[in-house]
Structure 1
């Protein structure tokens, strides 16, 4: 077999596409496309980065399936609380929390803080004012704002639940900006009579919308973990677990 030699990479690439299976390229053009080999090199490097990340995900198991997480509201609330905790073991620092604050700020009718200043504590299953009848799924208390998150997957809203939470949140905020996030599969409005409080204090959010926002915010950091060295396997596993949970949100 005669070995074909090429004068440059441009001619070699052109020959490759000429031998491409019939029907893939329907039109043949005599004009040559100019490009820089350095640009092509950058493209393949970026492609390799995405492939490596995808392969790592494909070869890993889903810890949430093994744990039987499914649609259990208490368990999913606990994991969401973990994800929203600044400097949590998920390794994404306060980015998940800032993503939620950005959603809240963009939908609010008043200027809600987009970050905390000194401290921020995230707790789940909190009895508001010591009353077990008013047990919030997630409470976020910072030095400059107060937030309650009511998580719904299959359960319905209790009688006047969000209205009661608004009253408790206003008291607990002590004059600071406060809000109620009503997290449901479809982003529906609460059935409670909340006429006393404006919509500025209540964010109706769907799990899917939250998932999309978190994924977009965390994706750059996630890819770096699998394409740049060194990173510990535990750090990578925590990040993978985070994204598997974010993906599961869209199934609620």
Structure 2
């Protein structure tokens, strides 16, 4: 079995398609460089920019009019049709972002078009009906059109919204942009052209899943399924990679490690280690009644003070003692009670922490900042449990 998988892995790394995929992904893309590919708000910002005929793209109202032709050709818009778009005066068009929470609002002296952009998020709280009411209230003398923009022209959840909102998809956005590039590309500046092409690539890759890189990747997977599945099953686990670094930093600060877990480093001060109840059922592996808890699973690193399940009398003593320290919160859990929580801007997944020495340095600094607080917790718990100063 081992020899067989090694042979399959060897075939994978010798596949020239892998090199082709690598070269495709290495092409610089403005949106990917800035990490904007999956941010819905950034897509709305781009659309606001390209829809606005007064913006720096210098393509005037070309995109705007193509967009309106598509919208106004829908039977849900009864007060105008696509044939009248070319004669529209766009000198006084205004594009609003987040007007009354509406993603995009296109305002003219005669009509208003709203665009609700749902790229990865879902509808909530009857928002489409509310936005329709907002527009009718704020612009009662003007005509209205409502657009629901999604990756694949999905319909709204409510029946009344389906009757009102024109369904629009990102394929249509890309189609219009490609028409502009093919027809007017020579007159568009290199900078704007590159910006638009990058946006087209990002939408094809991340929204529509229709991109050269994805095609190559699927072909490679089909040809090397077993080798790739083996790699996926044995890919590095970042939390396990940094586990030792976090725990070493806790030990270096002079604390005693308690029950551990992936993404959690729990500890006590040496004095508390001798008095905190242990061996309790229903809690951590070692049954501690209380632990400091460093959580590093998320985008921030958090220091919590946690009282675990156990005898109610000792729980109440510890919780009441911790509440005497500034910043205490009322614990919500009946079994697990987190009375204090301090967040620090340490994201172990950030590329700067590929250098584990840098991560260790920042954790040392964090624990240094928390030293006075940890000492105060030690003092009140010692006093509460054993009346020791």
Output the aligned Cα RMSD. 2.2
Aligned counterpart in structure 2 of residue 206 of structure 1, from 169, 184, 197: 169
CA apart distance, 1:165: 1.1
Distance 1:193 1:62 in 2: 40
Structure 1 residues 223 and 247: CA distance shift in structure 2, 3 A: farther
The residue aligned with 1:220 is 183
Q: C-alpha separation between the residues in 2 aligned to 1:179 and 1:207? A: 18
> Deviations 1:163-211 (Å, cap 9, x if unpaired)?
111111222232322111111011011113426xx83x42111111221
**Matched residues in 1 for 2:89 and 2:39: separation?**
30
Deviation, 1:217, is 3.6
Distance 1:178 1:247, change over 3 A: farther
Q: Deviations over 1:11-65 (max 9, x none)?
A: xxxxxxxxxxxxxxxxxxxxxxxxxxxxxxxxxxxxxxxxxxxxxxxx9832111
| Partner residue in 1 for 2:38 | 71
Partner of 1:18: none
User: Is 1:243–2:216 an aligned residue pair?
Assistant: no
Q: Is the 8 A contact 1:163 1:193 kept in 2?
A: no
Separation (CA, whole Å) in 1 of partners of 2:120 and 2:27: 29
Alignment of 1:170-181 (within 5 A): 170-181=136-147
Pick the structure with greater CA Rg. 2
CA distance in 1, matches of 2:148, 2:93: 20
Distance 1:117 1:84, change over 3 A: closer
Q: Cα 1:99–1:68, aligned 2, differ >3 Å: closer, same or farther? A: same
Offset at residue 238 of structure 1 (A)? 1.4
Q: Is the 8 A contact 2:51 2:64 kept in 1?
A: yes
The residue correspondences of 1:1-252 to structure 2 (distance < 5 A) are: 61-108=28-75, 109-110=77-78, 111-112=80-81, 114=85, 115-116=88-89, 118-127=91-100, 135-194=101-160, 199=163, 201-225=164-188, 235-250=189-204, 251-252=206-207
CA distance in 1, matches of 2:186, 2:27: 15
Does the 8 A contact of 1:91 with 1:239 survive in 2? no
State the 1:98 CA deviation: 0.7
Q: Which runs of 5+ in 2 are unaligned?
A: 1-25, 208-389
| Residues in 2 aligned to 1:249 and 1:194: alpha-carbon distance in whole angstroms | 30
TM-score using structure 1 length: 0.63
**1:88 Cα deviation (Å)?**
1.1
How many Å apart are 1:75 and its aligned residue?
Answer: 1.3
Question: Following TM superposition, by how much is the alpha carbon of 1:218 offset from its aligned partner in structure 2, in angstroms?
Answer: 4.0
Task: Give the distance between the partners of 2:200 and 2:95, measured in 1 at CA.
Answer: 18
With the length of structure 2 as denominator, give the TM-score of the two structures. Answer: 0.42
Q: Which residue of 2 aligns with 1:19?
A: none
CA distance in 1, matches of 2:170, 2:39: 14
Where 2:160 maps in the other structure, the secondary structure is coil
- Is the alpha carbon distance of 1:247 and 1:118 closer, same or farther for their aligned partners in structure 2, counting shifts above 3 Å? same
Q: Equivalents in 2 of 1:183, 1:116: separation in Å?
A: 25
